[in-house]
Structure 1
Amino acid sequence: MDTSVDRWLTFEGLDNVRDVGGLPVRGGGRTRSGVLLRSAALRAVTPADVARLVDDFGLRLVLDLRSPVEIERDGPSAVARAGVETVALNFIGASREILPEAGDTTDPVLRNYLGYLSDHPANVAEGVRRLAAEDAGPTLVHCAAGKDRTGVLVAMVLDAVGVERDAVVEDYVLSATQVEAIFKRRAEVLGEPVPDDIDVHKPRAEVMVAVLEHLDAEYAREPGRGGPEGGAAGWLRTNGLADADLERLRVHLTSTG
């Protein structure tokens, strides 16, 4: 399954940018283009990038998933200064600092991802709620590299609206092709050295598969209530989203045409 066609977007100062439109939905249909973008941090966007996002894409909302420390270091983005509403939703919490118990062989990246959901469930749910709002407009979601925190939130959204699992995972893995460029940009802007081993920072399909399987197992819908079982939708219901929110999200992001 190729989910990358016509979804990559090239900007002067912004990396790992793609539209999540065009992905196949279970039972038919596709995700809509021009509704949701995902990217790395906005710290180096140029005036031309801002104009393209605001004027061409019609950007109305940015969901910034970085930590308070990252946000304070970089200051407001040029996109925010242009008047686009920017909502900070930190995903990183205490579980990132907890060492695994003796004998715990859980993949550390998987542990981090599940930590986002356990440490800051209200922020994860709020990100989805914003996308499901009645007046929701074109939105961009980003973190630092646009692959981990952004990858988890986008996967939750895509799974909740019924995107085929293979496509959810493949969209997540696509960021692997951009990791080197992301680190080179960070070196230019922040002066951080490029890691010696780039490969260890690349998204791996098995990690996102494990996240989604965990959600299936832990958050299945109660018997007799109807509708899809488990997955991100089950987690989101448990954490405060109503069926009406999830239906608006589905209508907003998918098309049967």
Structure 2
Amino acid sequence: MNRVIPFEGTNNFRDVGGYLTANGRKVKHGLFFRSDELTGLSEQDLVSFRALNIKTIFDYRDDYEAQKKPDPVFAGAKNIRISAIKADQASQINMPGNAEHADRKTHIIVDMVKNGFFKQFRADTMMMELYTKLPIDNPSYKRLMEIIQHSDNLGLLHHCTAGKDRTGVGSALILLALGVPEETVMEDYLLTNTTMKAFNGKLLTQLAEHVDEVELQNIEHMLGVKEEFMEAVFGSIKKTYGNVDTYFAEEFGLTMKNRETLQNMCLE
């Protein structure tokens, strides 16, 4: 089964099934999907989407992003949105607070260019800070971990704008909870550089006419994923809790017994 699902209106829609755990079991296909924003799904995409039997759409975006590019509503699927980025961090990006009159066709990176983000901040430094904070005391991931423990919530699609940072960490947490080793989690994370390569290249070409070389390099840092970003997640978990097992038990109430139940439900 091809991991990447080629919708016309998304660039990074994937089935996270098929990965092997440390003890040789396999994540079932059709339970966990990850994606970038969904607002561009075509009519044909919508037909194909319904065939996936997705029961829960979990959105990590903030109010501005979701108002600018709202998710489709599917009969029989729950739409849940809890921002994965806390308000103090979101304010650093200097985004406008109201998307009522925003152009829904423009990419959020274009909005950030217009608001001077790439002149004021180094994207790579900000991304390292973001990834370090994301897995700790995050209401969005706490809710995600509750949801995945109930079979009637699966298949689950979780997504953000590009499907790489907030979704990348969410996907990492799901896979780690299922017993998938870190090196495989990293493999899933870095796949975004392949799936988004054409889209990111096109966007960079468009923006090159409007920004200087330093800004363009800064934008490039924001668009890609890097091993050190996910390593920051692993490091933050271990620095705070010592190990992954303690992290899941204390952060989410996912004791070894609860994780065993989850694994029996989601692995084959």
Normalised to the residue count of structure 2, the TM-score between the two structures is 0.75
The one-letter code matched in structure 2 to 1:63 is: F
Q: CA RMSD in A?
A: 2.7
| Structure-2 residue corresponding to 1:21 | 17
Structure 1 consecutive aligned stretches of length 4 or more whose deviation exceeds 6 Å? 184-187
Distance in structure 1 (CA, Å) of the matches to 2:199 and 2:169: 18
Pair 141,185 (structure 1): closer, same or farther in 2 beyond 3 Å = farther
CA contact (8 A) 1:95 1:115 kept: no
Distance in structure 2 (CA, Å) of the matches to 1:66 and 1:247: 30
Distance in structure 1 (CA, Å) of the matches to 2:66 and 2:141: 18
Distance in structure 2 (CA, Å) of the matches to 1:7 and 1:83: 24
Instruction: Give the drift of 1:135.
Output: 2.3
- Is residue 2:34 matched to residue 1:38? yes
CA contact (8 A) 1:66 1:144 kept: yes
CA contact (8 A) 2:84 2:139 kept: no
Distance in structure 2 (CA, Å) of the matches to 1:86 and 1:245: 25
Q: How does 1:116-131 map to 2 (within 5 A)?
A: 116-118=134-136, 121-131=138-148
Unpaired segments ≥5 residues, structure 2: 94-123, 205-209
Distance in structure 1 (CA, Å) of the matches to 2:35 and 2:49: 12
Normalised to the residue count of structure 1, the TM-score between the two structures is 0.78
| Structure-2 residue corresponding to 1:52 | 48
- Is residue 2:20 matched to residue 1:12? no
- Is residue 2:233 matched to residue 1:237? no
Q: Which moved more, 1:139-148 or 1:83-92?
A: 83-92
CA contact (8 A) 2:55 2:155 kept: yes
Pair 245,147 (structure 1): closer, same or farther in 2 beyond 3 Å = same
CA contact (8 A) 2:132 2:232 kept: no
- Is residue 2:234 matched to residue 1:212? yes
Unpaired segments ≥5 residues, structure 1: 100-105, 188-192, 221-229
Match of 1:167 among 168, 181, 184: 184
Aligned length: 226
2:225 counterpart SS class: coil
Q: How does 1:119-158 map to 2 (within 5 A)?
A: 121-158=138-175
1:87 counterpart SS class: strand
- Is residue 2:268 matched to residue 1:250? no
- Is residue 2:128 matched to residue 1:110? yes
